[in-house]
Amino acid sequence: MKTRYITTDVLIIGGGTAGCFAALTLGRHKNLQVLIAEKANIKRSGCLAAGVNAINAYITEGRVPQDYVDYAKKDADGIVREDLLLSLSERLNHVTDVMEKLGLIILKDKNGKYVTRGDRNIKINGENIKPLLAEAVKKQKNVTVLNHINITDYMVENNQIQGAYGFGVNEEIFYSISAKAVICATGGAAGLYRPNNPGFSRHKMWYPPFNTGAGYAMGILAGAEMTTFEMRFIALRCKDTIAPTGTIAQGVAAKQVNSLGRVYEDKYGLTTSQRVYGTVMENRAGRGPCYLRTEHISKEQEQDLYKAYLNMAPSQTLKWLEEGRGPSEQNVEIEGTEPYIVGGHTASGYWVDHKRQTTIIGLYAAGDVAGGAPQKYVTGALAEGEIAAEAVAEFLADSYRKETKEEFSGEQKRKAEAKRQEYENYFANKETVLDTEQLEEAMQKIMDEYAGGISTDYQYNEEKLKLALEKIEALEPLTDKLQAKDTDDLLHIYELKERLVVCKAVIAHLRARKETRWHSFGEHMDYPKKTPEFETYVNSKMIDGKITTFTRELVQGGSVYEHTN
């Protein structure tokens, strides 16, 4: 592999929603050189790649930011960072306004007001939201974009970030990037568990299959403190297509009903996890399949649903058309997905201070990879990108940190060469019986059966979690023997390695929370009841190669958290 050394002021890892907005914010600081390293291409990468049909986090008329904090706190049963939620909630409307000025089409009524969808949502035509962001980033003269580069490891010295290592996805180039500050915006983790659909359809899932938990894994391996991985996210989706159900539930006020036509959602509760749990319980009781009741909707509403799904999940519209019956003629069958780790919907991710700095000095986290603040959605990720970027600019305002670093030291080059050789070893390996796809399926089977996947109705116990860890740890050494014929193979190997690290963290957190606070998201059968005394964050750090868990007190009310230890 060719070696390329790059020096920059700020490295942004991940050019998705949060990463792009962080770059836009830093674009105002013309004295700072900013580099985005993106595994794909920022024009169509991340969760917004295919677009979205609503802004799901917005302070609508008559509401205030604290209302959004209260909603997110209730949905997460109290285990949130209120300081993080309030700071992002205060920016939701501001970042929406920025996006509209960039060209995002927001639907308006005859009075010129935004068309709302529920108490916190507004309707948009968002199929081009990511290209709009990408184009705005490209106009920033102090921002450089490196597409098709996969970052695998941080450079850290004395608990301070120094940069990161990676390789080209399409070219055999090793990158050693020196940076004074780093913003991690790589997104959450999909593909840890066996998905709804098998074989060639396995990637038809709720969360992008290309988000592998890379940022989490890098942080865990570098010794950063992480939080709340036990609050897994399981989406309630349209069966088979795995298309969103909120579009139907909020768009036409559809209720969840069982096979007998009885509404069951009020029986179990209306939080995100309770909606999944109710569906699981009705199926287990023999009253499935479960549906969203749409048979009563008008033809006009049906047309609206067709259009809405074409913006973000066209397979659902195609399914209705192929069957010759739309939602006005048949109810929509629903199911839960496999679990994901994603800080944009739950509180999983890096443990950060109120400026989004992690416990590694100079390393910041934003969007799905940042913990503590669930229900971010698109605008929350934008807001956190802005918060992190502003904090980085402040961090680099220190005259010492602004000193120009012209060359890599001999020690840095030695470490870089060791990492390059690690990549090279996979090209040198002899072909084996095992490949990444087989090991990935083995990992997913283990997590599904022993760590609460779909096949067990998301349930687990102490003994199963113990076995899950043993089996995942047994897979890890096998990855060292995998052969890479090209850099695309190397990419898949590192995606597998990242997922295995995140699996271990998930298992450790599931074992640590000895209660069942979020039904389905965490269904611990040895501890089936919620324990009020357990109103704490479960956090973790890797110490001597093992993930160690501990608890921290909740940050509530007007309190603001800053790292002190």
Predicted confidence pLDDT, tens digits, the chain (565 residues)? 999 999 999 999 999 999 999 999 999 999 999 999 999 999 999 999 988 888 999 999 999 999 999 999 999 999 999 999 999 999 999 999 999 999 999 999 999 999 998 889 999 999 899 999 999 999 999 999 999 999 999 999 999 999 999 999 999 999 999 999 999 999 999 999 999 998 888 888 999 999 999 999 999 999 999 999 999 999 999 999 999 898 899 889 999 999 999 999 999 998 989 999 999 999 999 999 999 999 989 999 999 999 888 877 889 999 999 999 999 999 999 999 999 999 999 999 999 999 999 999 999 999 999 999 999 999 999 999 999 999 999 999 975 555 555 567 888 899 999 999 999 999 999 988 899 999 999 999 999 999 999 999 999 999 999 999 999 999 999 999 999 999 999 999 999 999 999 999 999 999 999 999 999 999 999 999 999 889 999 999 999 999 999 999 999 988 999 998 6
Read off the tokens for 414.
């030695």
Question: How much is the pLDDT for 190?
Answer: 97
Peptide bond into 289 cis (omega under 30): yes
**DSSP bridge pairs for 176:** 5, 165
Give me the DSSP letters along 482-524.
---SSHHHHHHHHHHHHHHHHHHHHHHHHHH--S-SSTTTSEE
Give dist(CA 73, CA 58) in Å, integer.
Answer: 16
Give dist(CA 536, CA 196) in Å, integer.
Answer: 32
Q: Sign of dihedral through CA atoms 371, 372, 377, 381?
A: negative
**Which pTM does this prediction carry?**
0.95
Give dist(CA 442, CA 482) in Å, integer.
Answer: 15
Report all structural domains of the chain as residue ranges with CATH numbers, in order of start: 2-51+80-88+142-231+341-410 (3.50.50.60), 236-336 (3.90.700.10), 417-535 (1.20.58.100)
Peptide bond into 532 cis (omega under 30): no
Tell how strand 349-350 and strand 226-227 pair up: antiparallel
Question: How much is the pLDDT for 119?
Answer: 86
Question: How much is the pLDDT for 412?
Answer: 87
Residue count of the chain: 565
Question: How much is the pLDDT for 312?
Answer: 76
Q: Rg of the chain over CA atoms, in angstroms?
A: 23
Question: How much is the pLDDT for 565?
Answer: 61
Helix (H, G, I), strand (E, B) or coil at 432: coil
Tell how strand 226-227 and strand 160-168 pair up: unpaired
Give dist(CA 305, CA 252) in Å, integer.
Answer: 9
